[in-house]
Amino acid sequence: MMSTFSLILAIITGVSGIFWGVKKLRIIMCNHYRHKKIFFQKSNNIYQQPNNTYSLIISYFSEISEFISSIFPVLLLVFIIRSFVFEPFRIPSGSMMPTLLIGDFILVKKFIYGIKNPITQTTLINVGHPKRGDIIVFKYPKNPALNYIKRVIGEPGDKVIYNIITKQLTIYPNSGNGTTYIQQLPIAYDNIIPSNFVQVFNSDTNGKVESTFLQIRPNQTCSHGIRLIRTTESLNGVAHNILTMIPPGDQNLIKMYDQHTKNLVSEWVVPTDEYFVMGDNRDNSSDSRYWGFVPERNIIGKATIIWMNIKKQKDTTWPIAIQLDRIGNIE
């Protein structure tokens, strides 16, 4: 699994590094020859150079070389930070609402789960593993060219059950023997109230139905939308807010669940070195329920900070507002 952007950045950084190295070597050689009064001769403290076409071409390429070599330190710093420390991402969909909104710009901490080769994504130094409740960015298993962001629900060896009617999880932690699951993970659902989000459905001329999300106060009405319910979900004490539609859920969705040979349709046993993930917007998230588990090698890092949010108007590419109140740590 290769990261194309990281490969391109590494190549550009390497090329600029070569120019930077050649420049440093030339400076050393020039200083050496200048000291011996062989390479340059001075006249009125100005270096005399032939004024002809050849010298102009040399001067032109020298300026290009100077520019390429000058950006090497910046490229190297960007490459190191992006590859091993933090990487920026933008939230394109509402699958993680209300925790993350469309237009949020986030920083993903990459070293928290291990130091990886930025190009092949192979682990070089193992530091830790994702924990239940972490929000992770990962390469989509069905198409590694796409980056997804979801919350870790099941760790390796866990049994995860999702009730599509009540919208509640049941988790049996890894028992150690892989066959017997007795002790349930303590999961609580509190503060069940109408949220600030309304889901609106629209159909185009071809009959294709698309949905958008409006953010309005609970005391306001929206005749052409469905108000989502906000609930505080606590996974063994790790609390976060989720959104659901008013129960009961659409039982037809269960037909789209990832099929298993040994388990019930709405029941998953997480394999070794893989994770079960879900979006916080439970009825509007393409996640492990539908396409399976996330291999640990696909994980890029943990989402930690929202550093900006740009709110866009529908059907336009121009931002209409920067929401400063969104800046802060991700819970």
Q: Which residue in the list 16, 95, 195, 288 is annotated as catalytic?
A: 95
150 catalytic residue (yes or no)? yes
Residue 84: in which H helix or E strand, if any?
none
Alpha helices in 42-176 (DSSP H): 53-70, 72-80
Instruction: Please give the angle made by the CA atoms of 295, 254 and 291, to the nearest 5 degrees.
Output: 20
Instruction: Please give the angle made by the CA atoms of 141, 142 and 143, to the nearest 5 degrees.
Output: 95
Q: Which residue in the list 116, 150, 167, 302 is annotated as catalytic?
A: 150
CA-wise closest residue to 200 among 217, 230, 224, 170:
224
Instruction: Please give the angle made by the CA atoms of 229, 231 and 235, to the nearest 5 degrees.
Output: 150
CB atoms within 10 A of CB 183: 9
Q: How far is CA 5 from the centre of its chain?
A: 14
65 catalytic residue (yes or no)? no
Structure tokens at 143: 């198409």
287 neighbors 150 (Cβ within 8 angstroms): yes
CA dist 54 and 137 (Å) reads: 53
CA dist 123 and 116 (Å) reads: 4
CA-wise closest residue to 79 among 167, 169, 164, 8:
8
CA distances from 283 to 240, 265, 289 (A): 16, 17, 11
Convert 256-265 to b/e letters by CB count within 10 Å (16 or more is b).
ebeeeeeeee
Pairing between strand 187-203 and 209-215?
A: antiparallel
Return the active site residues.
95, 150
